[in-house]
Chains A and B, each alone.
Chain A
Amino acid sequence: MDIFLNGKARPCASGDTPLSVIHEHHLKPEEVVVEINGKIISRGQFGQTAFKPGDRVEILHFVGGG
């Protein structure tokens, strides 16, 4: 199935979660925020929230800014 991750279509396996994407990209869960279909996912749910086909997933973090 495909999801839209940070604006790009991307295949993912059944059972994949935000936490699996975070680990795959060597990110720190405590430094990112995850939104699925406009709803913020609490950090405790990163590993419990399996993606569904067509989900719009945003993984964001802080960068330098003024």
Chain B
Amino acid sequence: MDELVLGNKKLSSRLFTGSGKYGDDALIPEIVKAAECDVVTVALRRVDLDKPSGSVLKYFPRDKILLPNTSGARTADEAVRIALLARAVGCGDWIKIEVINDQKYLLPDSVETLRATEILVKEGFTVLPYVTPDLSVARRLAEAGAAAVMPLGSPIGTGKGLSTLELLKILVSEIKLPIIVDAGLGAPSHAAAAMEIGCAGVLLNTAIALSRDPVAMAEAFKWAVRAGRQAYLAGLCPVSDQASATSPLTGFLR
């Protein structure tokens, strides 16, 4: 069985889905079912006391692993605070560290992310940091005890795919931890491509949520991730600049 081990859990699905940007949260159970994912991300926010709506928790099947993010954090200390609050809700100790200071491209702050990782690993969290695909940072995250490294394919929500492809390949080659591409994917082919180069998984939100039919798109990504993973395990054929005939070059009818 080709399982992905993260923290102390064995995952049968390599597709992680986000729960944001759905006009109606009631769609979430259908997305989760269609994607057949094990892990779903959530964010922690103030309850709007002027217009209280229930927690999004009610839409999650109990067997799913909840992966709260630290979105909104601009420093390691803020990320740590959010992580501790998220754990206090009582849905586990997984945390996606997201520390962002750049509001135009939403690129993560690697220095603060590393600091937060060091602190939260010591606090007993299963830490999944969202970073740019930087080899030195990834090595430091591994040393700090991160459960995986989650580099971006492209800036969040852009749907541009694997614009960081060459850097992702380097991480896959050099880092022993699972590499999970988080952010920027737009099409199932992007997810398949990430899996084909040996990434351990992909995390998606916008690509599903903003499609015309999110449930159907969740299923499309499920197949893409499986196809890409199987292709990686099967081993892609060599790439060549010169053609190589597939039919015999003898016995022509002339």
The verdict on A64 contacting B46 (CB below 8 Å), with A32-B89, A40-B85, A40-B88 known, is no
Selected contact of B20 from candidates A7, A27, A64, CB within 8 Å: A64
Query: Counting CB contacts under 8 A, is B19 at the interface?
Result: yes
- Kindly list 5 other residue pairs between chains A and B, CB separation below 8 angstroms, not including A63-B45, A66-B156: A27-B54, A31-B55, A31-B58, A33-B86, A65-B18
Query: Counting CB contacts under 8 A, is A35 at the interface?
Result: yes
Question: Is A40 a contact of B84 with CB atoms below 8 Å?
Answer: yes
Looking at the assembled complex, report how far the CB atom of A38 sits from the nearest CB atom of chain B, in whole angstroms.
Answer: 8
B84: A residues at CB distance < 8 A? 40
Query: Counting CB contacts under 8 A, is B47 at the interface?
Result: yes
Chain B interfacial positions (CB closer than 8 Å to A): 18-22, 25, 28, 41-47, 49, 52, 54-58, 66, 68-69, 71, 81, 84-86, 88-91, 156, 183, 203, 205-206
Question: Is A35 a contact of B156 with CB atoms below 8 Å?
Answer: no
A-B contact pairs, 10 of them (CB 8 A): A27-B54, A31-B57, A60-B47, A62-B86, A62-B91, A64-B20, A65-B20, A65-B43, A65-B69, A66-B206
- Residue with the highest number of chain A CB atoms closer than 10 Å, among B45, B47, B58: B47
Query: Counting CB contacts under 8 A, is A48 at the interface?
Result: no
The verdict on A60 contacting B44 (CB below 8 Å), with A31-B89, A65-B69 known, is yes
Question: Is B46 a contact of A60 with CB atoms below 8 Å?
Answer: yes
Question: Is B47 a contact of A32 with CB atoms below 8 Å?
Answer: yes
Looking at the assembled complex, report how far the CB atom of A59 sits from the nearest CB atom of chain B, in whole angstroms.
Answer: 5
Question: Is A43 a contact of B90 with CB atoms below 8 Å?
Answer: yes
Selected contact of B43 from candidates A6, A40, A43, A63, CB within 8 Å: A63
Give bound CA distance, A58 to B78, whole Å.
14
The contact string, 1 if C-beta is below 8 Å from chain B, for chain A 36-66, is 0010101100000000000000111111111
Looking at the assembled complex, report how far the CB atom of B214 sits from the nearest CB atom of chain A, in whole angstroms.
Answer: 12
The contact string, 1 if C-beta is below 8 Å from chain B, for chain A 10-47, is 00000000000100011110111101001010110000
A30: B residues at CB distance < 8 A? 90
- Residue with the highest number of chain A CB atoms closer than 10 Å, among B56, B71, B88: B88
Looking at the assembled complex, report how far the CB atom of B106 sits from the nearest CB atom of chain A, in whole angstroms.
Answer: 11
Question: Is B57 a contact of A62 with CB atoms below 8 Å?
Answer: yes
Q: With CB as the reference atom, state the residue of chain A lying closest to B48.
A: A6
Give bound CA distance, A30 to B81, whole Å.
19
